[in-house]
Amino acid sequence: MLRQLLILIFLAGLGASQAIAAPDGAALFARNCAACHGSMGTGGIGVPLALHSFQASISDDYLRQTIRLGRPGRVMPAFGNLKPDEIEAIVSYVRTWNKGPAVTYSTQPVHGNPVHGKQLFTQYCVVCHGVTGEGGEGTGVTFSRPRNLPIIAPALHNPGFLASASDAMIKATLMKGREGTPMTSFIKRGLKEDDINDIVSYVRSFEKQSLAESAKLLQVENPVIVRDSPYDLKTTVENVKQAVSNNNFFYGRVQTLEYGLTTPDKENPKQVIVYFCNVSLLNQALGIDPRVGMFLPCRITIIEHNGKVQVMSVNPEVLSKLFNNSELNRLCTQMKKSYTTIMEEATL
């Protein structure tokens, strides 16, 4: 009897410790999601997850896959660092805003005529989702689109979306729409169920087509620009400073990479950053999207390792794709050209 009692106490304690160790969905959401989706899911840069029509139209599996895969080339990153139970905890927390039961969808494909679906997509969908399903312009209600537009049209051509959304979910969204957003019911707009099946088949055909340009860029282009320098560190730094001035940028300062992170005597003098700025370009960028401040002011890092000197910087053209803003893309393409020119002049 005593032995059985001890076993029960042990099992109860084990269960309690497991419960205590369970991931905290609210804390994980606050740390990973709230910056874009809002602390209460009201949205901002990201989708307002608490919106009733959104909650009513998406499945738990869609949320899981979206967290895991993200949206390549869009603002939503892939959270590959999160464990399955942590993702599950976030999904459960997001569902606390749901006013009804979670919807589930069949995984069976919807069969239709993609040729006719393309015609209907062109007529009804491109105005919001783009000609190739690349998604709506802008990055969030607080930045590049009107505040009264709660959800930006998703990129249907995006591999993350296509892997997360089942045919049945896409069909249900087309048939019912999403109240409180520009997405209206296509049934109410006069389409038949067969028409909707055709649109779903066309959207699914995106999987067989080449990636949208934004997602493709992230796959093929390096987010860092690197050039080897034939000169020593000191000469390379001076060359960069001169090239900065030659290209109409204002030279700011040079500091070690570890400045402020350790005591001056422990800083590595062979790792330095050159800061520079073009005020006009800076104001243009911040006017388009304030988040570009994350990689401004302009900077070039110069490192000497094993007798080899390298000059490097972030690739603004790649980073801009994460913000899904064509105006910013054009400006960051210009910035990339300036960075590349400066680095090449300094290492000639």
Q: What percent of the chain has pLDDT over 70?
A: 83
Q: Is the pLDDT of residue 210 over 90?
A: no
302 in any annotated domain: yes
12 in any annotated domain: no
Domain region containing 138: 22-216
Note whether 146 and 119 are same-domain residues. yes
Note whether 143 and 187 are same-domain residues. yes
pLDDT at position 28, please? 95
Note whether 159 and 227 are same-domain residues. no
Please tell me whether the overall predicted TM-score, pTM, comes out greater than 0.75 for this model. Answer: no
Q: Is the pLDDT of residue 34 over 80?
A: yes
Per-residue pLDDT, averaged over 229-249, amounts to 95
pLDDT at position 293, please? 73
Note whether 164 and 242 are same-domain residues. no
331 in any annotated domain: yes
Note whether 127 and 231 are same-domain residues. no
Note whether 271 and 136 are same-domain residues. no
Q: Rounded distance, CA 334 to CA 166, Å?
A: 39
Q: Rounded distance, CA 230 to CA 227, Å?
A: 10
Instruction: Tell me the two tokens of residue 329.
Output: 């893309």
CATH number at residue 156: 1.10.760.10
Per-residue pLDDT, averaged over 283-306, amounts to 82
CATH number at residue 249: 3.30.310.70
pLDDT at position 35, please? 83
pLDDT at position 90, please? 96
pLDDT at position 150, please? 59
Instruction: Tell me the two tokens of residue 284.
Output: 């243009």
**Taking Cα atoms as reference points, which of 185, 184, 130, 189 lies closest to residue 161?**
130
pLDDT at position 313, please? 93
Q: Is the pLDDT of residue 3 over 70?
A: no
Per-residue pLDDT, averaged over 290-294, amounts to 72
More confident residue, 253 or 182: 253
Q: What's the structural domain count of the chain?
A: 2
In which band, very low, low, confident or very high, does the pLDDT at 146 lie, cut at 50, 70 and 90? low
For 110-121, b/e burial (b = at least 16 CB within 10 A) is bebbbebbbebb
